[in-house]
Structure 1
Amino acid sequence: MAVCVIRRKTLSKLDSRKKALHTAETQAVNHIVAWVVGIVITVLVIIAFMGYRYVHHALGAVDAKDNQSLTVTIPSGATTKMIGTRLENKGLIKSALVFNYYVKFHNVSNFQAGDYTLTKAESLPAIIRVLRGGSAASDSAGSVLVKEGVTADTVADAVDKLKTKDPQYTKANFIKLLKDENFFNQLEKQYPRLLKSAKAAKGVRYRLEGYLFPATYTVTKGESLKALITEMVGKTDSVMQNYYGSIARQGYSVQEVMTLASLVEREGVAATDRRTIAGVFFNRIATGMPLQSDISVMYALNTHKTHLTNKDTSVDSPYNLYVHTGYGPGPFNSPSETAIRAVLSPKDRDKGYLYFVANLKTGEILYATTLAQHEQNTAQFASDNGN
Structure 2
Amino acid sequence: MDRRSRHVEDKRRLRADEKKASHKIVAWVLGILFAVLVIVGLMGYRYVHSALQPVNPNGQTSVNVTVPAGSSTKQIAAKLEAKHVIKSAMVFNYYVKFHNIADFQAGSYQLTQRDSMNQVIQKLRAGGTAATAAGQLLVKEGATIEQIATSVNKLGKSNRNLTSKKFMALMKNQAFFAKMAKKYPQLLSSAASAQGVRYRLEGYLFPATYSVSAGETVEDLVEAMLAKTDSVMQSYYKSIKKQGYTVQEVMTLASLVEREGVTQEDRRTIAGVFLNRIDADMPLQSDISVMYALNTHKTHLTNKDTSVDSPYNLYVHTGYGPGPFDSPSEQSITAVLSPNDRSKHYLYFVANLKTGEVLYATTREQHDENTAKFASDNSSVNK
TM-score by length of 1: 0.76
Secondary structure in structure 2 of the residue aligned to 1:142: strand
Is 1:335 aligned with 2:314?
A: no
How many angstroms apart in 1 are the aligned matches of 2:57 and 2:330? 40
Instruction: Quote how far apart the aligned CAs of 1:185 are.
Output: 3.8
User: 1:191 is matched by which residue type in structure 2?
Assistant: A
Partner of 1:370: 363
- Secondary structure at 2:18's aligned position in 1? helix
Cα shift readout 1:312-356 (whole Å, capped 9, x = no counterpart): 853625233334433233321122344344434544434312233
**Structure 2 gap ranges (5+):** none
Aligned to 1:352: 345
Whether the 8 Å CA contact 2:194–2:322 is kept in 1: the answer is no
CA-to-aligned-CA distance 1:92-115 (integer Å, 9 cap, x gap)? 222222233345545555766665
Contact 2:142–2:326 (Cα < 8 Å) also in 1: yes
CA–CA distance in structure 2, aligned partners of residues 110 and 272 of structure 1:
42
| 2:314 counterpart of 1:321 | yes
Q: CA deviation at 1:162?
A: 0.7
- Specify whether residues 138 and 153 from structure 1 end up closer, same or farther in structure 2 by C-alpha distance, changes over 3 A only: same
Pick closer, same or farther for the CA change 1:82–1:226 going to 2, 3 Å: closer
Q: Judging changes above 3 Å, is the alpha-carbon distance between structure 1 residues 16 and 329 closer, same or farther for their aligned structure 2 residues? A: closer
Change (3 A) 1:105 1:364: farther
3-state SS of paired residue (2:157): coil
Which of 191, 195, 203 is equivalent to 1:201? 195
Asked if structure 2 preserves the Cα contact closer than 8 Å seen for 1:313 and 1:320, the reply is no
Alignment correspondent of 1:85? 78
Cα separation, partners in 2 of 1:171 and 1:14, compared to 1, 3 Å: closer
Residue 41 of structure 1 and its aligned partner are, at CA, apart by: 2.2
The aligned counterpart of 1:288 is 281
2:145 aligned partner: 152
Asked if the contact 1:300/1:315 (under 8 Å) is kept, the reply is no
Deviation at 1:309? 4.6
Residue aligned with 1:162, SS? helix
Shift of 1:150: 0.6
Q: 1:167 to 1:122 in 2, by over 3 A?
A: closer
Amino-acid identity (%): 57
Which amino acid letter does the alignment assign opposite residue 314 of structure 1? T
- RMSD value, Cα: 4.0
Task: Give the Å deviation of 1:54.
Answer: 2.1
SS class of match (1:161): helix
Cα distance in 1, alignment partners of residues 301 and 70 from structure 2: 41
CA-to-aligned-CA distance 1:44-80 (integer Å, 9 cap, x gap): 2322232233223323443344464433344566555
The reply on whether 1:258 has 2:258 as its aligned counterpart is no
Q: Distance in 2 between matches of 1:132 and 1:381?
A: 62
Counterparts of residues 213-292 of structure 1 (less than 5 Å): 213-229=206-222, 231-233=224-226, 236=229, 252-268=245-261, 273-292=266-285
Q: Match of 1:201, as an amino acid? A: Q
| AA of the residue aligned to 2:254 | A
User: For the residues of structure 2 that align with 1:135 and 1:239, how far apart are their CA atoms?
Assistant: 30
Larger radius of gyration: 1
1:356 alignment partner, SS class: strand
1:360 deviates by 5.5
Calculate the TM-score normalised by the size of structure 2. 0.77
Within 5 A, what are the aligned runs for 1:71-220?
71-74=64-67, 80-106=73-99, 109=102, 115-125=108-118, 127-128=120-121, 136-164=129-157, 167=160, 169-178=162-171, 180=172, 183-191=173-181, 193=185, 194=188, 197-198=191-192, 200-202=194-196, 204-220=197-213
On the 8 A contact 2:139/2:208 being kept in 1, the answer is: yes
Distance 1:324 1:22, change over 3 A: closer
- Report how far residue 22 of structure 1 moved: 1.6
Give the match for residue 3 of structure 1. Answer: none
The residue type equivalent to 2:174 in the other structure is F
CA distance in 2 between partners of 1:17 and 1:110 (Å)? 74
- CA distance change for structure 1 residues 308 and 386 in 2, over 3 Å: closer, same or farther? closer
Asked whether the equivalents of residues 313 and 323 of structure 1 are also in contact (C-alpha less than 8 Å), the reply is: no
